[in-house]
A = this chain, B = another copy of it.
Amino acid sequence: MSDRLTEAILGIIRDRNLAPGDAIPSARELAKRFEITTPTIREALRKLEATGAVEFRHGSGTYVGPTINNVVLANPHRPPITKDSVLQLIGARLLIEPAVARQAAIAQAAPGASLERLEAAVTNALTPPGGPAFALNFHVELASASGNPVVEELISSLLKVRVREQQQIRQLYDNRTRDYEEHRAIFEAVQAGDAPAAEQLTREHLDHIRLAIEAVDFPELP
């Protein structure tokens, strides 16, 4: 069945050392190579698309996706979020991120460690959307600073779940100024290598967010 095909396509990508953004052979060509028809190859490609391993660009081609090397993924087919599910998400982050911040403070001392991106993410929160490097997210960069790419993926995935609705929720309670100050405090603790402070500040920061969400009357989402 088409499971073999997905493996074969991934094999091509690996054999050729293709990186995210590189083009892969067209559907027609793949069909010819594997001696099957295009609908079948498309099914295999769709499976890969669902996990972010490849991307379609209509009229242009098929390309290697950004998350092809991910260990974990945000489920793209999640049900609509509820107040409970958002609180569960925050609860999970509350469990994980303090330890992440602690680790980031420890790893900061390592040779070659750089907190540039983390600092950029702090100031970034105040710049208007669409600005340069707006994609930088403080919590993801913090996880990145911990030095473990799997941890970064985990945090990144938790933040990707239903981004659109979550952004709407943020607009209801979000306090950009407070966020900025708390992010900066965490950043400084990490920079100073003060692991206990980084851990505690992160815990408090997320707890503030949790309380804000709990207080909000949950709106009906479109």
Residue in contact with A72 in the complex, picked from B44, B48, B75, B149, CB distance below 8 Å = B75
Min CB distance A26 to B, Å, is 16
Chain B residues closer than 8 Å to A10, beta-carbon distance: 77, 79
Counting CB contacts under 8 A, is A95 at the interface?
A: yes
CA distance A168 to B57 in the complex (A): 39
Q: Distance in Å from the Cβ of A22 to the closest Cβ of chain B? A: 15
Give the complex CA separation of A51 and B2 in angstroms: 15
- Residues on B with beta carbons closer than 8 Å to the beta carbon of A117: none
Q: Is the CB of A71 within 8 A of B148?
A: no
- Say which residue of B2, B50, B150 sits within 8 Å of A88 (CB atoms): B150
Question: Which residues of chain B have C-beta atoms less than 8 A from A73's C-beta?
Answer: 51, 72-75
Q: Are B71 and A67 in contact (CB under 8 A)?
A: no
Min CB distance A210 to B, Å, is: 12
| Residues of B with C-beta under 8 A to A151 | 91-92, 95-96
Chain B residue numbers with a CB within 8 Å of A74 are 71-73
Give Cα A97 to B67, complex, Å.
24
A40-56 vs B: 1/0 string, CB under 8 Å?
A: 00111011111101000
Q: Are B150 and A71 in contact (CB under 8 A)?
A: no
A146 at the binding interface (Cβ < 8 Å):
yes
A51–B76 touching, CB < 8 Å: yes
Given known contacts A91-B148, A150-B91, A154-B154, A77 and B99 CB-to-CB distance under 8 angstroms: no
Q: Please measure, in the bound complex, the distance between the C-alpha atom of A154 and the C-alpha atom of B49, giving whole angstroms.
A: 22
Contact A158 B51 (CB under 8 A): no
> A103–B91 Cα gap in the complex (Å)?
11
Task: Determine the distance from Cα of A89 to Cα of B67 in the docked complex, in whole angstroms.
Answer: 17
Q: Does A123 contact B (CB under 8 A)?
A: no
Can you give 11 contacting A-B residue pairs, CB < 8 Å?
Answer: A10-B79, A39-B42, A46-B50, A50-B50, A51-B75, A51-B77, A68-B77, A71-B158, A91-B148, A92-B151, A95-B148
A interface residues with partner B (beta carbon < 8 Å)? 2, 6, 10, 14, 39, 42-44, 46-51, 53, 67-79, 85, 88-89, 91-92, 95-96, 98-100, 103, 146, 148-151, 154, 157-158, 161
